[in-house]
Structure 1
Amino acid sequence: MELTPDPVDGTPLTAEEYEAVRAAVAAGGRGGAGTLNSLFAGWRDVVEDMEDVEEGYGPCAPQFDDDLSCRDALGRAWPLLPPRVRAIRRPELDELDGRFRAATVPWPDRPEEGPRWWHRRIPLVLEAEAGLPRPGGWPLGWEILPFPKPDGVRVVEWGRP
């Protein structure tokens, strides 16, 4: 059962710890996530999508919100994980969260910390089809946000002849 890497000290996780990880991930509730590793892999994929400054993040705001569900599941499961597992995985989570913060900007006039802070951020680079309208400077699908496009958000176009 693949749930976590062996701890740095070489002491394998106990059966009870593995079961607690399984229960925490199930309680985190992300459909077919199945393992803690798959939640981390999903979060890593989202972060890598945000870091693509050449193409930008292509999906719309509702899809972005949906993409963040892997981080939601991690957030729900995290306090339920055994302390030793949290200690083992904390550096990885901190690194991914830091990369996500670096590839996004905060919502204007909203707290940058607190529960589900990742939902109050916007990719630095958004993709837009050339020639389509941009209400308020946003690519289509992002104009639903309740504020003007921040200056720090860049839009890259695709589909230009």
Structure 2
Amino acid sequence: MTTHEEADVHAAMVAADADCWDGGQPRTFSALLDYWGEQVAGVEEGYAWCLDDFDYEIWCRTVLARVWPLLPPDVRSARQPRLDELDERFRAATIEWPDRGGEERWWLWRFPRLLFVEAGDSYDGGWPAGWLRMPFPKPDAVRVVV
């Protein structure tokens, strides 16, 4: 990126209130996109935490959605393939909530295909303990590893 583009990207991050997170630590757009990539990779490997943690960890995709339209067109164009690739991987590693298709913030209405039971938690064959708030029975497509 040119110096001008970097300044425009920073301005977009500030305008979207996305330049600080994780305890107020300053972050860059590249770091935000990388963090989404880390979350996607973690979900692909299997998710070992609870629903609340999952919701918290995918917040970065919501921030990306806020920042994206504010970015310079050249930056969006250059980064769109990476975002598309990560989004497709996330879709492949997750399942859509029943009756929630087509939502604008689609990533909020998905859950991992592979869940691990947290150490010390009992498991009865349905949702793991940290996922019991789900408002529907565990689909057969969700694999739980004890």
* TM-score (ref. length: structure 1): 0.80
**Runs (4+) off by over 3 Å:** 129-136
1:36 matches 2:29: yes
Residues 43-98 of structure 1 deviation map (CA, whole Å, 9 limit, x = unaligned):
0010000111xxx2011001000001111111110010011110000000000000
From 142, 147, 151, the counterpart of 2:136:
147
Q: CA–CA distance in 1 between the matches of 2:33 and 2:76?
A: 13
Structure with the bigger percentage of helix? 2
User: 1:107/1:44 Cα in 2 relative to 1: closer, same or farther (>3 Å)?
Assistant: same
Q: Secondary structure of 1:95's partner?
A: helix
Residues 88-110 of structure 1 deviation map (CA, whole Å, 9 limit, x = unaligned):
00000000000000000100111
From 34, 37, 40, the counterpart of 1:47:
40
1:89 matches 2:79: yes
Q: Secondary structure of 1:137's partner?
A: coil
Q: CA–CA distance in 1 between the matches of 2:142 and 2:50?
A: 14
1:23 matches 2:47: no
Residues 118-145 of structure 1 deviation map (CA, whole Å, 9 limit, x = unaligned):
0100101001047744467000110111
Q: CA–CA distance in 2 between the matches of 1:33 and 1:121?
A: 28
1:121 matches 2:114: no
Partner residue in 2 for 1:10: none
Q: Secondary structure of 1:146's partner?
A: coil
Partner residue in 2 for 1:106: 96
Q: CA–CA distance in 1 between the matches of 2:119 and 2:32?
A: 34
1:75 matches 2:50: no
1:156 matches 2:145: yes
Unaligned runs of 5+ in 1: 1-5, 7-12
Unaligned runs of 5+ in 2: none
* TM-score (ref. length: structure 2): 0.88
